[in-house]
């Protein structure tokens, strides 16, 4: 990879890391489409999964007391079932088609995240379905957050419960995702180099996120996040046709 490509990867990781700390989600959803401006989609997915696993593990450990164990179990098990299907898409689909799928998936995610629904009293099928879809998205596009965010917001979890639950599901899902990528021989030198180079940007982004976490919240942050996702989705769709 060239210096310019690695710079774009670093900038994408910086912003995504900052958003992840503020909101508890959004790393892959934001970093992957931005990274595809410089590197192939498959490399972007691998880099996002490698770096995102570290972020999620750290957050899951520090917020473990707030996780909802039943939800974590349902979402994680169903995500594991969906991951092999996502890996198949990752392996066989052309890179330009992957970028188009990524952009469309992010735009759909914006619609889901913008909706304010109350499904607090829905049965376990809601969690199982959301977990399965997140597993498919995890190993195909590294954008497994939206189904999880949708179901946890719809169940109206408290902020600490939300962060603790989703971080644990992310952490467990990323571990399995990395294992599947290794088994399929999809982690290459370029991806490892890009992840290593972008690691400092991730740390700086997280440090920058903590002060923002106290000041940018509620509807203000929510709409800022949605606007960033629309821009990221548009960039992925445009790059799919170039």
The per-residue pLDDT for range 24-83, each reduced to its tens digit, is 677 887 888 889 888 888 888 889 989 988 878 887 888 888 888 999 999 999 999 999
Q: Where are the alpha helices (DSSP H) in the chain?
A: 3-23, 27-35, 41-62, 69-92, 95-114, 124-141, 145-154, 159-183, 189-215, 218-240
Sign of CA dihedral 227, 232, 235, 236: negative
The Cα–Cα gap between 187 and 4 comes to: 22
Does the pLDDT at position 14 exceed 90? yes
Cα angle 29-160-157, degrees, rounded to a multiple of 5: 80
SS3 assignment for 89-132: HHHHCCHHHHHHHHHHHHHHHHHHHHCCCCCCCCCHHHHHHHHH
pLDDT of residue 242: 67
- pTM above threshold 0.95: no
Cα distances from 164 to residues 16, 158, 170, 201, in angstroms, run 19, 10, 10, 24
* pLDDT one-digit tens code per residue, 153-185: 778 777 788 888 988 999 999 999 999 999 988
Q: What's the distance, CA 82 to chain centroid? A: 15
pLDDT greater at residue 217 or residue 19:
19
* pLDDT one-digit tens code per residue, 89-127: 888 888 788 878 877 877 887 777 677 666 666 788 889
pLDDT of residue 211: 78
């Amino acid at each position: 990879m060239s210096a310019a490509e690695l710079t774009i990867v670093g900038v994408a990781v910086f912003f995504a890391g900052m958003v992840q700390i503020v909101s508890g989600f959004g790393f892959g959803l934001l970093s992957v489409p931005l990274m595809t401006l410089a590197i192939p989609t498959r490399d972007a997915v691998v880099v996002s999964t490698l770096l995102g696993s570290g972020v999620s593990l750290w957050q899951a450990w520090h917020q473990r007391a707030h996780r909802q164990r039943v939800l974590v179990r349902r979402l994680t098990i169903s995500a594991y079932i969906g991951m092999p299907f996502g890996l198949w898409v990752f392996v066989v689909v052309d890179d330009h088609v992957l970028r188009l799928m990524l952009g469309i998936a992010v735009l759909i995610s914006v619609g889901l995240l913008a909706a304010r629904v109350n499904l607090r009293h829905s049965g376990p099928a809601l969690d199982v379905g959301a977990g399965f879809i997140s597993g498919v998205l995890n190993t195909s596009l590294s954008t497994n957050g939206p189904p999880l965010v949708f179901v946890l917001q719809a169940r109206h979890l408290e902020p600490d419960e939300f962060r603790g639950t989703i971080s644990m599901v992310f952490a467990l899902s990323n571990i399995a995702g990395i294992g599947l990528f290794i088994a399929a021989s999809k982690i290459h030198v370029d991806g490892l180099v890009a992840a290593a180079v972008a690691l400092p940007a991730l740390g700086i982004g997280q440090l920058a996120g903590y002060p923002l976490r106290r000041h940018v919240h509620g509807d203000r942050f929510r709409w800022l996040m949605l606007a960033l996702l629309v821009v990221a989705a548009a960039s992925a769709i445009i790059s799919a046709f170039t």
